[in-house]
A and B are shown apart, each in its own frame.
Chain A
Amino acid sequence: MIKGDFISNLGRIYGFYTGGFIAFVLLLAVLEQMGVPNRIIGYLFVFLTIAVYAVIGILARTAQVSEYYVAGRRVPALYNGMATASDWMSGASFVGMAGSLYILGYDGLAFVLGWTGGYVLVAVLLAPYLRKFGAFTVPDFLAVRFGGNPARVVGIIVLFCCSFTYVTAQIYATGIIASRFLGLQFEVAVFVGLIGILLCSMLGGMRAVTWTQVAQYIILIIAYLIPVVWLSAKITGVPIPQIMYGGILEKITAIEKTIGITKAHIQPFTDYNMLNYFALILCLMLGTASLPHILMRYFTTPSVRDARISVGWSLLFIFLLYFTAPSYAAFAKYEVLTNVVGQQISSLPGWVKAWGQVGLVTVTDLNKDGILQWAELKINTDVIVLATPEIAGLPYVVAGLVAAGGLAAALSTADGLLLAIANALSHDVYYKMVDPQADAKRRLIVARILLIIVAIFAAWLASTKPSDILSMVAWAFSLAASGLFPALVLGVWWKRATTPGAVLGMIAGFGVCLYYLIGTRYYGMPEWFGVKNISAGLFGIPVAFVVTWVVSLLTPAPSKEMMDFVDRIRVPRGGPVMQQD
């Protein structure tokens, strides 16, 4: 009853919420003018936004299994799109991507392409069919389509390997952002982030995570756009950075020529050669279409039709951030080339000094002439987004807003990943394999306990600053693509795919990918054809497809029941194939 009211009033509720948030930012701006110290502004931003997420998380608590796992399948397409967008865009996308584009120039656009184009595959190949099937988790689908627990177990292992490193990195990011803006010790800040994550997800599962992710999207997109829109207005006179950075690119190219920078911003294939550029795009796209925390978001829409259109909304909301990131990079580079490089080192702009003090910008006068050269300046990727408010001459309140946005991005992704892991453990391992007789109450208790255990373990790991784990995040896409993509796609699109084919295909693809990753990183194995290990999926994916195909043809065709089952997931009509309570 109340829920029906909530769903039909979503526009009004989130409208008020957005208005309230803007009023809150303006209030803090006034407080800042009245002399309230920056530190207090930072505290208010971090704690009030976390408090709002926690309130939503608590209001959305539930005692129903289908509410906990798939938000009751009642999330309208547009809102599921927003939730998916914040589920998808991590702390690193928000804080680090513009910086990577600043450093890599054209080659960095492989990330922009790779992290958007995969949604076409999600929409066309997978989301509507998985929605029609009616599973709670991705391993659930694999188990039913490919004859039981072996496929389920392999699915869980792949899911765990790619999601756990990823969630550790997200909790690490919340710790970094919280410690920077609150002045807390890093280890303490990690646990502040952990509390924020648990309050959002523990009581209400998918339902609570959905509605907090919508709230987090609104904050993160406002926070991302304001500084660069302002900077664009300041530099070019027009507040549309995504169009105006064209002119800036032209100026950058001209300046690069005059001061003799050989690696031009717009020059393709300087950091990555062509093979690596396209391999990276492919792995990121197929990985996007295989990551369980993304696929499971489309289990929550009311219908198959909504699942399809919801992928469109997701990508539109993601697009708003990703097509802005290159403009951040261009404006920042222009600023550096005109107001930083070539200046007396003793009189650099304030932001260079401020970020230099925390070690994120380093200036070394190599030729001892007292003037900063291009090669003498090193900038950490996080600085571009974090320093833009200062570059644009905006008040501190905007820096606080950016911190709140980065926190929202990291928290929302952590929530989604944590839920994907804990749900696989509670639904697939506990309920489907250990205790199929468990009643609803018991299942939800187990689900929550596992969620807390996984969260605490990930937070503990993050607090040790494990450099290996953090650099492995980029592997998640290749691992997911090699381990899951062929089995999922062929499961829907090729009836002849058999259980041994799929299981061996998953093991082979995942195995080859993992072998290449570990071999090249830890055992000095030479790269195959010079492919960097971030694109290990270039080998794993074809191996998985070929093994699935060959083994399927060598083994007896699936049963008539299985063929009928595949037919049923191919037509939208007739409700979910798998009825679950």
Chain B
Amino acid sequence: MSDVPPEKAAAHWAKTRSLMWTCLTIWFLASFVVHFFVATLNKVVILGFPVGFYMAGQGSLIIFVVLIFWYANRQNAIDEEFGVAED
């Protein structure tokens, strides 16, 4: 909106973008990279779960849920820091 000065908007967007890359990196690790090592991870067994299997069936999912809530809080804090949060 017109009430957000351009330099403030640019700084807000720079910080938003770096949060986005952080989130996508974690997403990429949990979605692909971890499962690349499934055979190695499966050699470790906790509570009966081979760890590689556990990560695909449960571990990565927990990371996704926590990541979204963390992201929502971080992004809200960024919005407030630059005074562009909703009223």
Contact = CB atoms under 8 A, between A and B. Distances in A.
A335 to B, nearest CB: 17
Contact of B30 (A117, A243, A278, A316): A117
Contacts of A243: 47
A376 interface: no
Interface string B21-60: 0011001001110011011001001111110111011101
Interface string B44-80: 0111111011101110111011011101100110010
A311 interface: yes
Contacts of B83: 573
Contacts of B65: 312, 315-316, 319
A266 B50 contact: yes
B31 A281 contact: yes
Nearest to B13: A570
B70 to A, nearest CB: 9
Size bracket, chain B contacts: 35 or more
Contacts of B32: 278, 281-282
A178 to B, nearest CB: 31
A119 B68 contact: yes
A106 B1 contact: no
Interface string A525-557: 000000000000000000000000000000000
Contacts of A249: 48-50, 53
| Main DSSP-derived SS at the A contact region | helix
Contacts of A570: 9, 12-13, 16
Given A120-B27, A125-B20, A281-B32, A573 B48 contact: no
B53 A266 contact: yes
B79 A109 contact: no
A112 B20 contact: no
Interface string A109-120: 110110011011
Given A121-B27, A123-B71, A309-B69, A248 B48 contact: yes
Interface stretch (A4-12, A87-95, A300-308): A300-308
Contact of A572 (B35, B60, B84): B84
Contacts of A116: 60-61, 64
Given A112-B56, A246-B48, A249-B49, A308 B38 contact: no
Given A106-B56, A250-B45, A305-B86, A319 B69 contact: no
B7 interface: no
A184 to B, nearest CB: 37
B26 to A, nearest CB: 8
A312 B57 contact: no
A567 B35 contact: no
Given A119-B64, A312-B68, A573-B4, A268 B58 contact: no
Nearest to A243: B47
A268 B38 contact: yes
A153 B31 CA distance: 33
Contacts of B81: none
A113 B56 contact: yes
A568 interface: yes
Contact of A246 (B54, B84, B87): B54
Interface in A446-501: 493
Contacts of A575: 1
A120 B72 contact: no
Contacts of A247: 47-48
A433 B39 CA distance: 55
Nearest to A315: B65
B54 to A, nearest CB: 7
A571 interface: yes
Given A113-B61, A123-B72, A268 B39 contact: yes
A268 B42 contact: yes
B12 A571 contact: yes
A323 interface: yes
A124 B71 contact: yes
A109 B13 CA distance: 36
Interface in A326-381: 326
A120 B67 contact: yes
Contact of B23 (A120, A316, A493): A120
B60 A117 contact: yes
B53 to A, nearest CB: 5
A128 interface: yes
A572 B86 contact: yes
A327 to B, nearest CB: 8
A109 B53 contact: yes
Contacts of B38: 106, 268
B4 to A, nearest CB: 6
B47 A573 contact: no
B84 A573 contact: yes
13 contacts: A112-B56, A120-B23, A120-B64, A124-B68, A246-B54, A249-B49, A268-B39, A305-B86, A308-B72, A309-B69, A309-B72, A312-B65, A493-B17
Given A124-B68, A246-B48, 14 more contacts: A113-B61, A120-B64, A125-B20, A247-B47, A250-B45, A268-B42, A285-B31, A305-B86, A315-B68, A319-B62, A323-B62, A571-B12, A572-B86, A574-B1
